[in-house]
């Protein structure tokens, strides 16, 4: 298999700090002001060489129809992203001084902790790109310092500084997930991803890493993962990561959660092959797995007081003489069988094995699966909103609110009982690709493997990839979901 000169993963992200105003001749000054105080929206240069960013007010986005609660997307993430992108262009004209430049951002006195967290996310993520080349990389903003309101000496300075630190951590998780999703698939085999996962968390105290190979999967009966990987010369893997606070002498104060992320390193559709148009974007079909890894790394580094298990089933879905076929019957981990209808609906087969294994071995309070799973979710909610399938409406709304606070939009979706029969098969226990609403029946299919454990399924087929730049998002893999998982499980 040919290789490519890909960047080292994880790539370095912009260093974002907060505190009192700094003094230096190498500082680029930026002041964020309200739209009322700015002569125009966006970033403009002043006569003294400093910059002003006019922050426009955004309309609230309704999240919970049952309680009429709304959330303001305050524009601070977009501000941070636009600042570093625009200033990248400026410092590229001074390559010798690029490493010395410090961007210092002043904010209004009434800026809240939520505002500063959003700003730090944008500053960290905004200019982060994944480029495969032997050419020298263009200079970019490397260091940003946020001047806290009250010159960093107010009674709330510590709280505000923590908000910036949290935002930078959330942004770094998104960057890691993006790097993994955007790596080219001639390099990104299941084995390669497994090595990256081990490297990402191996030095964190309290984390246990297991990489399960194809022989182990065969011995234990992971028929879904093996079926998807049968057509490829590069065998599947199961990444199993466990963070346990008891391993570092702390107590578990919250219930165990298992995270399962789809890890299809390239998806041709298999025998049910996809059209050639846009197939290149299928290198990002493991965004769910990348987001799980990034979230797990952050949560373990934060030493959250709960056991967290990350399971990432990895396979490459290729057409060949050995590929699985429509009409096959697959036996999953735990014994349930599924009738294969469409080999391009492979993601749920991976999730089924991993969900069943996680529920049986780790006995969690909840299993959360996340995947670029169905075109139906993308059609229903578009390219910027993820679908939440939860045991009840309240859980879905709670997750949606958590995600909204870190710039990821979600919408709770229904799981009506009258579609349960659609998931049944006449020739096996389950029908892999049932008739009816595709996103709903896919979530129901995966739920059958949870062994009665509470299950939340996140379908990110729309927001997991981007076609253009907007807010802090860049084209291709977005890393969507990592920030929500961190925000949700760290509380």
Q: What is the pLDDT of residues 153-182, one digit of tens each?
A: 666 889 999 999 999 999 999 999 999 999
Number of domains within the chain? 2
Assign residue 463 the CATH number of its domain: 3.40.630.10
Structural domain boundaries enclosing 432: 183-490
Q: Within this chain, do residues 358 and 443 fall inside the same structural domain, yes or no? A: yes
Residues 349 and 432: beta-carbon distance below 8 Å: yes
Q: Within this chain, do residues 215 and 237 fall inside the same structural domain, yes or no? A: yes
Of 154, 178, 202, which residue is a domain's last?
178
Residues 294 and 482: beta-carbon distance below 8 Å: yes
274 is a catalytic site residue: yes
Q: Within this chain, do residues 315 and 170 fall inside the same structural domain, yes or no? A: no
**What is this structure's pTM?**
0.94
The burial of 17, by beta-carbon neighbours within 10 Å (0-12 exposed, 13-18 middle, 19 or more buried), is given as middle
Assign residue 107 the CATH number of its domain: 3.40.220.10
The active-site residue, picked from 195, 220, 274, 384, is: 274
Residue 66's pLDDT band (cuts 50, 70, 90): very low
Q: Is the pLDDT of residue 133 over 90?
A: no
Q: What is the mean pLDDT of the chain?
A: 91
Query: pLDDT tens for residues 105-125?
Result: 999 999 999 999 999 999 999
* pLDDT average, residue stretch 188-197: 98
Q: Within this chain, do residues 212 and 141 fall inside the same structural domain, yes or no? A: no
Distance, CA of 257 to CA of 266 (rounded, Å): 28
Q: Within this chain, do residues 292 and 326 fall inside the same structural domain, yes or no? A: yes
Q: What confidence score (pLDDT) does residue 59 get? A: 47
199 is a catalytic site residue: no
> Is 261 inside any structural domain?
yes
Q: Within this chain, do residues 139 and 274 fall inside the same structural domain, yes or no? A: no
Is there a cis peptide before residue 441, judged by omega within 30 degrees of 0? no
Most distant CA pair in the chain, distance: 76
Between CA 486 and CA 491, with CA 490 as vertex, the angle to 5 degrees is 130
Provide long-range contacts, Cβ within 8 A and 24+ apart, for 358-363.
358/258, 358/260, 358/309, 358/311, 359/258, 359/449, 359/450, 359/451, 359/453, 360/333, 360/334, 360/451, 362/242, 362/256, 362/258, 362/307, 362/309, 363/256
Of 155, 178, 201, which residue is a domain's last?
178
The active-site residue, picked from 117, 212, 262, 348, is: 348
> Is 198 inside any structural domain?
yes
């Amino acid at each position: 298999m040919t290789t490519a000169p890909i960047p080292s993963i994880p790539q370095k992200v912009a260093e974002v700090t907060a505190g009192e105003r700094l003094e230096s001749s190498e500082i680029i000054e930026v002041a964020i002001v309200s739209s009322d105080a700015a002569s125009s929206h966006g970033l403009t240069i002043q006569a003294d060489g400093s910059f002003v960013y006019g922050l426009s007010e955004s309309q609230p986005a309704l999240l919970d129809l049952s309680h009429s609660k709304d959330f303001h997307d305050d524009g601070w993430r977009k501000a941070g992203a636009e600042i570093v992108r625009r200033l990248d262009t400026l410092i590229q004209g001074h390559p010798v001084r690029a490493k010395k430049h410090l961007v210092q951002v002043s904010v209004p006195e009434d800026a809240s902790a939520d505002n500063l967290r959003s700003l730090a996310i944008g500053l960290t993520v905004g200019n982060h790109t994944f480029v495969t080349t032997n050419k020298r990389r263009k200079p970019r903003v490397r260091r940003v310092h946020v001047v806290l309101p009250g010159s960093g000496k107010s009674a709330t300075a510590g709280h505000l500084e923590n908000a910036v630190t949290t935002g930078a951590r959330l942004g770094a998780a998104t960057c890691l997930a993006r790097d993994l999703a955007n790596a080219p698939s001639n390099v990104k085999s299941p084995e390669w991803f497994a090595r990256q996962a081990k490297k990402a968390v191996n030095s964190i105290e309290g984390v246990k890493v297991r990489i399960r190979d194809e022989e182990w999967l065969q011995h234990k009966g992971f028929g879904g993962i093996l079926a998807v990987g049968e057509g490829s010369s590069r065998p599947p893997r199961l990444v199993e990561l466990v963070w346990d606070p008891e391993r570092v002498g702390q107590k578990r104060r919250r219930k165990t959660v298992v995270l399962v992320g789809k890890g299809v390193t390239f998806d041709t559709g298999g025998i049910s092959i996809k059209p050639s148009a846009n197939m290149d974007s299928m290198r990002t079909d493991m965004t769910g797995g990348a987001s799980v890894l990034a979230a797990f790394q952050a949560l373990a580094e934060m030493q959250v007081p709960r056991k967290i298990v990350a399971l990432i089933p990895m396979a490459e879905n290729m057409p060949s003489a050995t590929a699985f076929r429509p009409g096959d019957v697959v036996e999953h981990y735990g014994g349930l069988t599924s009738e294969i209808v469409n080999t391009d609906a492979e993601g749920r087969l991976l999730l089924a094995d991993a969900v069943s294994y996680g529920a049986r071995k780790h006995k969690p309070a909840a299993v959360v699966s996340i995947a670029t799973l169905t075109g139906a979710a993308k059609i229903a909610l578009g390219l910027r909103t993820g679908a939440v399938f939860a045991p009840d409406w309240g859980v879905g709304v709670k997750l949606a609110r958590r995600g909204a606070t870190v710039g990821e939009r979600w919408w709770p979706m229904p799981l009506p009982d009258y579609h349960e029969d659609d998931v049944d098969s006449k020739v096996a226990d389950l029908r892999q690709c049932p008739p009816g609403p595709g996103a709903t029946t896919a979530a129901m299919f995966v739920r059958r493997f949870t062994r009665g454990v509470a299950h939340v399924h996140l379908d990110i087929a729309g927001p997991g990839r981007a076609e253009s730049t907007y807010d802090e998002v860049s084209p291709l893999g977005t890393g969507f979901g990592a920030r929500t998982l961190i925000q949700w499980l760290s509380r």
